Chains A and B, each alone.
Chain A
């Protein structure tokens, strides 16, 4: 299992070399996305007002404070990714997103998109918002503020990790692998419990 330090925007080559179990630290910028802004992009067909080519996007709706016309971070944490599965093909196919950062993993639609376009899913630790907030250097931009807090956010990051490659561009999904191994053990567990 390798460890990588990658700078955004990410290239297809950057992402294709990543395999499940590898560790990534990101430098540069990441974009905060989630339900409301993705629904606007793909169900109301409004293109994102920012270039997402090579982007790493994180599933979040941050808690922020408005200061001097800009925003200051208060508490930024990651939400469950599975709700956003249907948007990954559009994010990667239409807009060039290369990495999705989230918790608890994604499913078939995302796995197909990652294989086809060269994308990956990077697992961050859920519930560790204090750590995540500390790792994010600053809020550099915000678009679609009317969707607050589910606007599109641009965060500057340094040494952002460890992120675990949990889904890679070869169609491997660590959550599926872990569950498959658990299912293999079920018969033995049932037997011990007398089930």
Chain B
């Protein structure tokens, strides 16, 4: 039971937080992403990738200095929400508050609205529409906080998404080949050096969702808790970087900053694998709202 939720203040706090998170994510790159790009700059030896990475680092510095959006693509807004089980929360109201916060960020900042109807291509100029923003809900037991992770997912990288329903006989070998082939096909389009998210198992839809979670929610440098999956992450990251696609696809040592895998059990007759890519500005912003309505911002 929260003090804030009882008197209804929580939803206006969530609305303000959803708004702030969208704007923060577009301007303030997480420290782990900055470090990975800096490390990539130091690792590269050739002239072209060095110039490309140095421009990226300069862009980050300008965003910090002038409070400017890092990329013009404000993306499709995604919110990953973890609701503590001890909170007394009206979920539809929570969802409404996030939608309203997204609209307010777009109109009041203002931001470019990159969201449109899939057939009519109409754009409400609010970054919202039917089923958008995407709000993923998770519930955490014995917890009294609300955590909101906001990710603006750009189109250059999202357009390079892949799913394959392999058969069990193709095994892990088929999975590895599909991942390498997908990254090669994506090439320069998703603005490398990118973060590769891999989904393994589940159903087709869950597999794609797992790839997305792997690409956009995990801090760079983190490893899956399962040691077998963690070893596969390391093996595949090294293999991907051997391709030499390099920053912006112009050649170099760093094609991917990270490769993360999320998995689920699957059907005995299935072997699904999905790849989702996040561009070099791997944008995300996080906030934790406690039972008293206090908000702490992070990444």
Contact = CB atoms under 8 A, between A and B. Distances in A.
B156 interface: yes
Nearest to A83: B159
Contacts of A164: 48, 51-52, 250
B184 A103 contact: no
Contacts of A130: 59-60, 62-63, 66, 68-70
Given A189-B239, A189-B243, A179 B184 contact: yes
A125 B244 contact: no
B243 A175 contact: no
Contact of B56 (A82, A128, A177): A128
Interface in B178-196: 180, 184, 187-189, 191
Nearest to A131: B59
A186 B62 contact: no
Contact of A104 (B188, B246, B251): B188
B120 interface: no
Interface residues of A, number: 48
A50 to B, nearest CB: 23
B16 interface: no
Given A123-B250, A178-B249, A179-B184, A134 B62 contact: yes
Interface string A76-119: 11011010000000000000000000011100000000000000
Contacts of B187: 104, 175, 178-179
A157 interface: no
A193 B235 contact: yes
A82 B186 CA distance: 12
Contacts of A183: 184
Given A164-B52, A174-B250, A182-B244, A129 B69 contact: yes
A86 to B, nearest CB: 17
A180 B47 CA distance: 20
Interface string B233-247: 001100100111110
B273 interface: no
Contacts of B58: 128, 131
Contacts of B250: 123, 164, 166, 174-175, 178
B48 A175 contact: no
Nearest to B249: A175
B188 A195 contact: no
B131 interface: no
A110 B202 CA distance: 42
A23 B51 CA distance: 9
A133 interface: yes
B73 interface: yes
A62 interface: yes
Contacts of B245: 178-179, 182
A28 to B, nearest CB: 20
B235 A104 contact: no
Interface string B276-287: 000111000000
Interface in A168-195: 174-175, 177-179, 181-183, 185-186, 188-190, 192-195
A75 B68 contact: yes
B38 interface: no
Given A104-B187, A131-B58, A164-B48, A77 B177 contact: no
A104 B249 contact: yes
A75 B281 CA distance: 15
B299 to A, nearest CB: 18
B112 interface: yes
Given A63-B112, A128-B59, A162-B55, 12 more contacts: A1-B47, A77-B73, A80-B159, A103-B156, A103-B188, A104-B156, A125-B56, A128-B56, A134-B68, A164-B52, A189-B180, A189-B242
List of 5 A-B pairs having minimum Cβ-Cβ separation, nearest first = A77-B72, A128-B59, A131-B59, A104-B188, A182-B243
23 contacts: A23-B51, A104-B156, A104-B188, A104-B191, A104-B248, A125-B59, A126-B71, A126-B279, A127-B71, A128-B58, A131-B58, A131-B59, A131-B62, A134-B66, A162-B55, A174-B251, A178-B245, A178-B250, A178-B251, A182-B244, A192-B239, A193-B235, A194-B173
Interface of B: 47-48, 51-52, 55-56, 58-60, 62-63, 66, 68-73, 112, 154-156, 159, 173, 176-177, 180, 184, 187-189, 191, 235-236, 239, 242-246, 248-251, 279-281
